[in-house]
Amino acid sequence: MNTTKTRRNLSVHGLLMLAAALLGAVSAQGAQVGLDVAMGSDSVLANAKQTAYLRVAMTGHEFRDTSARVPVNVAIVLDKSGSMSGEKLAKAKDAAIMVIERLRPDDIVSVVAYDSVVTVLVPATKASDQAGIFAAIRSVWAGNNTALFAGVSKGAAEIRKFLERGRVNRIILLSDGLANEGPSSPGELAELGASLIKEGVSVTTIGLGLDYNEDLMAALARKSDGNHMFVEKPEDLASAFGREFGNVMSVVAGNVNVAVTCEPGVRPVRALGREVSVAGQNVHAVLNQLYGGQTKYILLEVELEPGTVGTRTPVATVELSYLDMATKTTESLRGAVAVTATDSQALVTAGENREVMEAIVYQISAERNELAMRLRDEGKIEEGKRVLKENLKYLESNGAIDTSWYRDNGSVLLEMDQGGAEWGKIRKNMIKGQYQIKQQSAP
């Protein structure tokens, strides 16, 4: 995001902008990761319960040695159901071959193809024997059903053969259809994803065409902290795979654990965007990795007890631990944040942290976008439109007019009446957009 733009736009209530944006926030800097803990505003109104937002932002720093990268352990899981036959499967094979060509000999790769049954085409192996791998990939032809769950399970089993925290462990799942064999609900796939991330395995899901279940694919990716992509045309598969491998190869930190401990009198309400687990005053979140040059954050909504004017109250402490992929050591960073109670709304506004406010705006607009989609799913088109209009106004009032996210919301509003495949395509784009905002994943 562009700093000038945010400076220009983020005057939430159109009031004064003062300096000291980071006042009261604590930043910490590790070798590979920067931690920034900040509140939406440094000040809150006193003498009343207040809802406030706390952002824990983690930025991955690119390796100094630009040629260095973390060894990867990738399982490519390809759909070879009947609907993939022809160009789709051919392009998918080409894309897989293209990205495997970029691997180094010490990387691990496995290739799994599934229809109603699963075939491990390339059991997990060093990427050195490329000719053999390519021959196995080229031998695939399309079959019957879509045992997606089994495909991912087998991919995970291959990953597990060389599972180590010092590698980027990634399943790249391609599917163009509905899972119809084995566990097939978004909830079940989400649970699988949630289980895999505990081992340090992420699943990136690439939905191809207009027939896949975007809820399922997004849920699997979200719970395992992978990426989710929507590829409408087979010819775009190569670039999608390429982007994903770019992501995989830019990982600088793994096993990122964030523990937020709220001070007494601060009640964690919920998280916006990325999911967290809340237990009492403790909030915990896991990110499987941080990419070089990217910032990921956890955004918490907290409820503050009434404060007295002029007192500065600690809100939370943050402990971040991660595995430095360059040194293979576990590093930890600490941060803390506090707010000052005031009786002046102007001071509250003046104390706003623009980056945090921007994150809040985007997360809330993503939630509204999702709400509009759910309403449309239930057939409540007009209500959905109303939510989208409000969302557009909300974005406008916060100065996000130029962004693609604003344009996406606008075009969805125009096409809410569409049905069938057209709506399916819009919906897939909506899910993708929501995913990118919620997970802060690269487009």
Partner 1 sequence: MKVRLTVVLTLIVALPLVGLGWLGTRVARNERVVVEQRFNALVLDRLRDVDAGIATYLAQRERDLFSLPALSGQTVDQLRAMARESATVRQFFVLSNRNELRYPVSLELVREYASLRNGLDPVPAPSLQQPPSPDEAESRELSITPLTAEETAFLERTHAIWAGKRIPTNDSGESRHVNISTQFKGWYAWYWGDGLNLIFWWRDWRGAVVGAELNPVRLAADIIGALPDSNPESATLADGRISLIDSKGATIYQWGALEPTQDVPPVASLPLRAPLSAWHLQYHAAPNPAGTALGGGVVFNIVSGIVVLGLALMALAVYYHRESSREMREAAQRVSFVNQVSHELKTPLTSIRMYAEMLDGELDGNDEKARRHVGVIVSESQRLSRLIGNVLTFSRKQRSTLKLHRAPGSVDGVIRSVLGHFEPALAAKGIRCAFDADAAQVALFDQDSLEQILGNLLGNVEKYAASGDRVEIHSRQGDGMVSITVADNGPGIPPRERNRVFMPFYRISNRLTDGVTGAGIGLAIARDLARLHGGDLTLEPAEKGACFRVVIHAPVAGTNGEQT
Give the binding site for partner 1 (CB under 8 A): 112, 116-120, 143-144, 147, 149-150, 152-154, 156-157, 160, 181-183, 185, 188, 191-192, 195-196, 198-199, 277-280, 282, 284
Closest CA to 365 of 415, 401, 414: 401
Q: What one-character DSSP code corresponds to residue 374? A: H
Radius of gyration (C-alpha) of the chain in whole angstroms = 23
Q: C-beta of 422: minimal distance to partner 1 in Å?
A: 32
Nearer to partner 1, 35 or 152 (CB): 152
Nearer to partner 1, 25 or 302 (CB): 302
- Please state, in angstroms and as integers, the Cα–Cα distance from residue 88 to each residue in 83, 180, 232, 242, following that order: 8, 19, 11, 16
Closest CA to 32 of 287, 244, 317, 328: 328
Please, are residues 338 and 37 in contact by the beta-carbon 8 Å criterion? Answer: no
Nearer to partner 1, 24 or 268 (CB): 268
**Residue 257: φ, ψ to 5°:** -110, 125
CA distance 350 to 355: 14
User: What is the rounded end-to-end Cα distance, in angstroms, of the chain?
Assistant: 13
Nearer to partner 1, 185 or 397 (CB): 185
Please, are residues 353 and 22 in contact by the beta-carbon 8 Å criterion? Answer: yes
The residue ranges of DSSP E strands in 364-410, in sequence order, are: none
Closest CA to 101 of 119, 128, 125, 74: 128
Nearer to partner 1, 255 or 429 (CB): 255
| Side chain identity at residue 98, one-letter code | M
Nearer to partner 1, 189 or 360 (CB): 189
Nearer to partner 1, 102 or 267 (CB): 267
CA distance 56 to 300: 8
Nearer to partner 1, 9 or 83 (CB): 83
List, as one string, the DSSP characters of 170-221: EEEEEE-S---SSS-SHHHHHHHHHHHHTTTEEEEEEEETT-S-HHHHHHHH
